[in-house]
Amino acid sequence: DSGVTQTPKHLITATGQRVTLRCSPRSGDLSVYWYQQSLDQGLQFLIQYYNGEERAKGNILERFSAQQFPDLHSELNLSSLELGDSALYFCASSTNPTWADTQYFGPGTRLTVL
């Protein structure tokens, strides 16, 4: 158990809908990262927050948004969902975003868009 929690574990929804994925980082970690992993693909970095502020953006679509709250939990909002958004979404956390810092991953949320 990495100490990072994600809810829900599974999510099935229809095209055009909006969903919210939630992440709680490990105790003491200030940095939260969101990743998308499509079937048989590597991880695509979406966005990173550090202590409530957006720090870096990766390949995040405009239909997606995220935020990190004062209690450090984070939410990833996916809207106008398309079939291609079906993927495993990971949240990871780390203490300080340096080159030597290890990211610990949550169990992921498996999103299926029908």
Partner 1 sequence: AQKITQTQPGMFVQEKEAVTLDCTYDTSDPSYGLFWYKQPSSGEMIFLIYQGSYDQQNATEGRYSLNFQKARKSANLVISASQLGDSAMYFCAMREASGGLDSNYQLIWGAGTKLIIKP
- Cis preceding-peptide flag for 8 (omega within 30 of 0): yes
> At residue 16, what is the residue type?
G
* Residue 2 or 80 with smaller CB distance to partner 1: 2
Among positions 11, 23, 24, 50, the unique one binding partner 1 when judged by CB under 8 A: 50
Contact window for partner 1 (CB under 8 A) among 22-30, 63-71, 75-83, 92-100: 92-100
The residue ranges that bind partner 1 (CB under 8 A) are: 2, 42-43, 45, 48, 50, 55-56, 58, 88, 90, 92, 97-108, 110
